[in-house]
Amino acid sequence: METSSNNMSTEADETDINTLFDTIIFPFYFWIYLFVTMFSQISVMLLITFKTPSFFKDFRIFLINSSSLQIAMCLIIFFTQVRPLPNPNSSGYLFSGSCRFIHKNACFFSFDIFQLVFDASAFAIPATLFYKYSKVTKMNGKEMSRLRVRLILVSSYFLSFIVGLIYIITYNPSESLDVSDETKKQYRNKYEFSHYAEITGYRNHIWSTLTNNLNLLSIYIPPIMSIIFIRLIHVKLSSFKHLFTDKTAAQARRFDLALTIQTLVPAICIIPVYTLHLISEGFRTFLKCFIRN
């Protein structure tokens, strides 16, 4: 009886801790992310408005595209405040953001839209840098065609289009009900579900695995691409510095700073969270295999 009572007390404590973390402590992270992102993107918008060199006039549309996507992504993250809960046969999602006051589908579809916006936002930065690098390499040659400029801009949405198409084709309303049942059984003693939106998610199948892996590309690949392009742009501009006035060179450096900020904000705020999640999932899988053997 005493052992049973101790177990119940431990489970209740764990439930309280998880709920406290998700509903009080965890939101601080989202407030910080909201503040940092909005501040950086407003700064970029001001640079776009007042400090765009005439040579990089077409550059505005790329910066506006990138900034708008990051602002949209930030607002969706703050709106949903999602915690993934892995199950043996599915992935459930707990939403502690304000979307829970509307409807579970407001959270569910917002999270799907977030994935698409995140993919586009992540690749918008290297697309912008690639445009600038292409522009810089043609300083002494022929102007870039409007078609090529548009193709570079649209390329940032390619992965979002693929993932969105998979979401639409494989959507099944009853899937969330199965995920909710499994998640509640799996975590019945760890969370007070009344503090969250009704659980939604996806069953584990080839399509959900594919979309998860595609979304992971948006986390790790764009920062690497961006750093490479920033370095190439710096080297190329250094070789053409005799063509710029001091004022134009200073403006170019400001844009490089703005793009560096756009690269670092998602890298610092998102990559550590996803990496820790992947490590914890890998460690959990290793423990399961170890226990079975």
Distance CA 118, CA 208 (A): 17
The lowest-confidence range among 88-102, 195-209, 229-243 is 229-243
β-pair partners for 93: 84, 200
240 has a pLDDT exceeding 80: no
Confidence band, pLDDT 50/70/90 cuts, at residue 263: low
Q: Which phi and psi angles does 9 have, rounded to 5°?
A: -65, -40
State how beta strands 82-86 and 200-203 pair. Answer: unpaired
* Assigned CATH for 2-292: 1.20.1070
| CB burial readout 159-188, b (16+ within 10 A) else e | bbeebbeebeebeeeebbeebbebbeebbe
Question: What percentage of the chain exceeds 70 in pLDDT?
Answer: 69
pLDDT tens for 214-224 read: 877 887 888 78
Rounded to a whole number, what is the largest CA-CA distance in the chain? 84
The stretch 2-21 carries a mean pLDDT of: 52
pLDDT tens for 42-55 read: 887 777 777 666 65
Confidence band, pLDDT 50/70/90 cuts, at residue 98: confident
Q: Which phi and psi angles does 143 have, rounded to 5°?
A: -65, 150
CA Rg value for the chain: 23
pLDDT tens for 119-153 read: 898 888 888 888 888 877 765 556 778 888 889 89
Sheet containing 90-95: order of strands: 82-86, 90-95, 200-203
Bin 198: left if φ > 0, else alpha if -120 < ψ < 50, else beta: beta
What's the number of CA atoms in the CB half-sphere (13 Å) around residue 137?
10
Model pTM score: 0.73
pLDDT tens for 145-190 read: 888 888 989 998 999 999 999 888 888 888 888 888 888 888 877 7
Residues across the chain: 293
77 has a pLDDT exceeding 50: yes
Distance CA 186, CA 184 (A): 5
The closest alpha carbon to 122, from 167, 170, 72, belongs to 72
Question: What percentage of the chain exceeds 90 in pLDDT?
Answer: 5
Domain layout of the chain by residue ranges: 2-292
**The pair of three-digit structure tokens given for residue 105, joined into one six-digit string:** 């589908």
